[in-house]
Amino acid sequence: MFEKVLIANRGEIALRIHRACREMGIHTVAVHSTADADAMHVRLADESVCIGPPSARDSYLNIPAILSAATITGADAIHPGIGFMAENAQFAEMVEEHGFTFIGPTPEHIRIMGDKVTAKRTVQSLGMPCVPGSDGPLDTVEDALATAKRIGYPVLIKAAAGGGGKGMKVALGPEQLREAYQLARGEARGAFGNDQVYMEKYLAKPRHIEIQVLADTHGNAVHFGERDCSVQRRHQKVVEEGPSPALNAEQRAHIGGIAANVVRELGYRGVGTIEFLFEDGQFYFIEMNTRLQVEHTVTEMITGIDLVREQIRVAAGAPLGYGQDAIRFQGHSIECRINAEHPDTFMPSPGRIDGYHAPGGLGVRVDSALYDGYRIPPHYDSLIAKLVVHGASRNECLMRLRRALEEFVIGGVETSLPLHRRIISEPDFINGSYDIHWLEHLLGLKG
Ligand code: ADP
């Protein structure tokens, strides 16, 4: 097992990884920008190294600085966390070239899944159901028009290098498609430096359902069931839950089995998430994330398994040591992503925390790096806390979530707490009847 792990991230996820390491008897090294010198992940780590100025480009994305920090502290492995370097194949490659273990998949697997066109082709050849669409990238607007004619409108143009919902455009007919095609290419070029786009049939009322997988380096792979992440705004997840109110045990075992089989066939290692749209009882693959996800906590609550610990174990070469039968699902879990942002305009709201009280009690987990007096810097993601609740049943979970949201106090900045209180009081949410458009309709953002 590793003796020392460098955590190449910040905020709640750096803390989450530190906690797993601590419980495994592994020393931790935090890295931080000058804006994060007082951050909780720095305070709790055994050692810390400043890797640059506030801008992420010069610090958390600065590969030479991170590798130097690992060298001078004598770390054996680097955990990239979520975002920043987590899906950067070149970083994974350089980490290993410098003699450290990358806690994540091989650079090759990151590369395959990072290009969504290649990803779709790869998993489709292994029996994964996919959304009907173009067979590859669309090089010209004529290609796009011909593909749309074949699969039928409405269609969605997506960026091959996509992420965070960027570069996606819907078209209801040929005129709109001409425009959407150019817009999507421009947006993709700006966001990812790669303007390759592809097309999918636009599904009208799907749910977003994803399967958590884990594979070791000895040919074993398992799945940990699903998370329903259909409550979204601008294709970004806001609330996640597991199990999905829309699936039964048979559907879970079916799609989970396919997902575990695909990662086994690929020779994948580590944790991963296979994302699907689910409509009229059918699953359609959309992408695979080759990293830990924000909402991994939901799965931990219903399986009792520490996924970060598992991720570190398999990175160190340990065999899983258990099969699919050992994974049991108990009760229900819901996570609210709490952002420092205005609840109506969604504008970021950085600033100093003045008054902080986190809820507690049975079945309540708060993953956050906040503390009273902490100053949220304006340079990074606005996620400041994850409230994750567990209950024996979905109803118990909802009641517990309601009281936990009532107790939660985050003063000094605007947060999305009021939005969450509203979402969980809506009859549709209480009944579990929502799709990926539901939240935007509720907020009046869609006609
Ligand atoms: P990204 O990597 O940018 O997050 P995804 O492919 O994961 O992109 O899609 C993000 C979200 O966009 C999905 O959860 C869903 O809400 C929506 N979406 C993606 N593909 C489709 C589709 N074919 N039809 C309808 N909605 C889609």
CATH number, domain containing residue 190: 3.30.1490.20
Average pLDDT over residues 388-402: 98
CATH number at residue 85: 3.40.50.20
Distance CA 207, CA 130 (A): 15
Please give the DSSP secondary-structure letter assigned to residue 435.
Answer: -
Examine the fold and report which residue of 54, 84, 101 is the final residue of a domain before the chain moves on: 101
Q: 72 and 34: one domain?
A: yes
Closest C-alpha to ligand 1, atom 19:
286
3-class secondary structure, 150: helix
Least confident of 183-197, 290-304, 366-380: 183-197
| 270 neighbors 103 (Cβ within 8 angstroms) | yes
**What pLDDT shows up at residue 442?**
96
Question: How far does the centroid of ligand 1 lie from the alpha carbon of residue 165, in Å?
Answer: 7
Closest C-alpha to ligand 1, atom 20:
286
Mutate to test the pocket of ligand 1, among 82, 168, 290 (most ligand atoms within 8 A of CB): 168
Q: 196 and 212: one domain?
A: no
Q: Is residue 108 part of a domain?
A: no
| 275 neighbors 286 (Cβ within 8 angstroms) | yes
Closest C-alpha to ligand 1, atom 6:
286
**What pLDDT shows up at residue 165?**
81
Q: Is residue 47 part of a domain?
A: yes
**What pLDDT shows up at residue 343?**
83
At residue 2 the predicted structure's pLDDT band, cuts being 50, 70 and 90, is very high
Closest C-alpha to ligand 1, atom 21:
202
Under 8 Å CB-to-CB from 321, ≥6 apart: which residues? none
Q: Tell me which residue of 429, 242, 227, 433 sits closest to 331, measured CA to CA.
A: 242
Q: 357 and 435: one domain?
A: yes
Q: Among residues 291, 337, 365, 400, which one is catalytic?
A: 291
At residue 347 the predicted structure's pLDDT band, cuts being 50, 70 and 90, is very high
**What pLDDT shows up at residue 108?**
98
Q: 157 and 285: one domain?
A: no
Q: 190 and 227: one domain?
A: no
Question: How far does the centroid of ligand 1 lie from the alpha carbon of residue 167, in Å?
Answer: 11
**What pLDDT shows up at residue 301?**
98
Residue 201, both tokens: 């049939």
Q: Cis bond leading into 343, ω under 30°?
A: no
Q: Is residue 107 part of a domain?
A: no
Higher pLDDT, 156 or 445: 156
Under 8 Å CB-to-CB from 250, ≥6 apart: which residues? none
Encode pLDDT of 11-44 as tens digits: 999 999 999 999 999 999 999 999 999 999 999 9
At residue 164 the predicted structure's pLDDT band, cuts being 50, 70 and 90, is confident
User: Is the pLDDT reported for residue 166 higher than 90?
Assistant: no
Enumerate residues lining ligand 1, CB below 6 A: 131, 156, 162-165, 200-203, 206, 208, 232, 235, 275, 277, 286-287, 436
Q: Is residue 111 part of a domain?
A: no
User: Is the pLDDT reported for residue 256 higher than 80?
Assistant: yes
Q: Is residue 162 part of a domain?
A: yes
Q: 292 and 394: one domain?
A: yes
Examine the fold and report which residue of 201, 235, 258 is the final residue of a domain before the chain moves on: 201
**What pLDDT shows up at residue 265?**
97
Rounded to 10 degrees, the C-alpha dihedral 98/101/102/105 comes to 120
Q: 192 and 315: one domain?
A: no
Examine the fold and report which residue of 157, 180, 201 is the final residue of a domain before the chain moves on: 201
Which atom of ligand 1 is closest in space to residue 167's alpha carbon?
3
Q: Is residue 124 part of a domain?
A: no
Other Cβ atoms within 10 Å of 447 Cβ, number: 5
Closest C-alpha to ligand 1, atom 9:
165
User: Is the pLDDT reported for residue 178 higher than 80?
Assistant: yes
What percent of the chain shows pLDDT beyond 90?
97
Which atom of ligand 1 is closest in space to residue 208's alpha carbon?
14
User: Is the pLDDT reported for residue 447 higher than 60?
Assistant: no
Mutate to test the pocket of ligand 1, among 227, 235, 441 (most ligand atoms within 8 A of CB): 235
Question: How far does the centroid of ligand 1 lie from the alpha carbon of residue 35, in Å?
Answer: 33
Q: 242 and 296: one domain?
A: yes
Question: How far does the centroid of ligand 1 lie from the alpha carbon of residue 252, in Å?
Answer: 21
Question: How far does the centroid of ligand 1 lie from the alpha carbon of residue 285, in Å?
Answer: 10
Encode pLDDT of 207-237 as tens digits: 999 999 999 999 999 999 999 999 999 999 9
Q: 274 and 176: one domain?
A: no
Average pLDDT over residues 267-287: 98
Encode pLDDT of 69-127 as tens digits: 999 999 999 999 999 999 999 999 999 999 999 999 999 999 999 999 999 999 999 99
**What pLDDT shows up at residue 315?**
98
Report how many domains make up the chain. Answer: 3
Average pLDDT over residues 145-165: 93
Q: Is residue 114 part of a domain?
A: no
Task: Tell me the whole-structure pTM to 2 decimals.
Answer: 0.96
**What pLDDT shows up at residue 153?**
97
**What pLDDT shows up at residue 167?**
83
Q: 40 and 17: one domain?
A: yes
Average pLDDT over residues 372-397: 98
User: Is the pLDDT reported for residue 280 higher than 90?
Assistant: yes
Q: 295 and 356: one domain?
A: yes
Under 8 Å CB-to-CB from 306, ≥6 apart: which residues? 20, 23, 300
Question: How far does the centroid of ligand 1 lie from the alpha carbon of residue 38, in Å?
Answer: 37
Q: Is residue 112 part of a domain?
A: no
Q: 249 and 191: one domain?
A: no
Quote the domain boundaries for residue 361: 207-442
CATH number at residue 358: 3.30.470.20
- Specify whether 291 is catalytic: yes
